[in-house]
Amino acid sequence: MNHEHVFIQGEDEKAPVLLLLHGTGGNERDLLPIAQMIDPTASVLGVRGNVLENGMPRFFRRIAEGVFDEEDLIKRTKELHTFLDEMALKYTFTRDQVYAVGYSNGANIAASLLYLHENSLRGAILFHAMVPLRGVNLPDLSGAPVFIGAGKHDPLIPMEETKELVKGLQDAKSPVTEYWTEGGHQLTREEIEQARNWFEEVKQS
């Protein structure tokens, strides 16, 4: 299934590609300014979710606030994985150099890609993410570093939820970096700056 998207070729064709995944109600262009802050030389692929909730785009359905429709999540994750394969051919970027940058709902489907599809992502920046699925055997993620930005007072995501996500990724051998703000669910500039510093180190390793 196709996604509304925007692709912007970066200065270096061999540089990583930033896959931008918006939060509920966003679109394929929402995170372009954040991509510019994280790495202005990278190519970017902004994607719009195919599910509508009260007219707002999302990447997968949910049953209630914080309760995912797991069957739909698995289906939509597979669709996104296949879409990335197709886009790599269309835009001739290196498929194994895709780093997700996701916020909220977009971060959740990025985490689901890590959980379900080995080598789908080279790494990920997850802003305000939840555990996508439980009872899943994760692949070896030792080659997939992850940055997690979270708010200590996020009304939608308890700290324990984020800690569980961190532990699950670490158990799968992913090198995880956590960054906590004193804020809530909103994305903060300090998180983005920390993610930028992290990405500068990661992409050189």
DSSP 8-state class, residue 95: G
Rounded distance between C-alpha atoms, residue 139 and residue 169, angstroms: 10
Rounded distance between C-alpha atoms, residue 10 and residue 174, angstroms: 27
Residue 21: other Cβ atoms inside 10 A: 31
Helix axes 159-171, 105-116, angle to 10 degrees: 30
Contact 108, 26 (CB under 8 A): no
Q: Which positions are annotated as active-site residues?
A: 104, 154, 185
